[in-house]
A and B are shown apart, each in its own frame.
Chain A
Amino acid sequence: AQSVTQPDIHITVSEGASLELRCNYSYGATPYLFWYVQSPGQGLQLLLKYFSGDTLVQGIKGFEAEFKRSQSSFNLRKPSVHWSDAAEYFCAVGSGGGADGLTFGKGTHLIIQP
């Protein structure tokens, strides 16, 4: 069975500091990996995705993520966070496109300190 683990429930970062959110997955085939962001009471916005090719993927809002097959990880990074980055972040795995539903991690709540 597929699963996603986000080990950090909460992370607090000072504004301007760098950020790394961890994500580990378990998937029986070639994974399609995603990071989504959710503001309170809102839907999900796709930050970036990995399907194949270059293991370092660039997303919106200055985010990037690196796929490491040997570690079954897909960690999200940002060199300098802004107060507007405070939100809930979800890592997800699937088989690609719209063929199958996604399996989500439990999410990481990002708090930005001034």
Chain B
Amino acid sequence: RKEVEQDPGPFNVPEGATVAFNCTYSNSASQSFFWYRQDCRKEPKLLMSVYSSGNEDGRFTAQLNRASQYISLLIRDSKLSDSATYLCVVNRVGTASKLTFGTGTRLQVTL
């Protein structure tokens, strides 16, 4: 079983739609969680951290469910510029330095 699992998609949504991605992780002792964004043929960039209480950044909302070991990302009012691959990231237990990346969920927002 992979440490971090994501639906690869693609998710094709019209502009203005709300879309949600989920991610599951296998190690219940994982401590830190993130969403990174990767544009086509570009490097990954941190989108937002995920806190137990949930957190929001503009149109983006991230939530963590420790009991079920999943993380979600909700994007409201999708823009064309949101088209990218969204990587779910978990830190490895024992060291905060080692991040484990999911293989990503691809989002395509269309007119």
Q: Do A and B come from one complex?
A: no
Residues on B close to A: CB < 8 A?
A: none
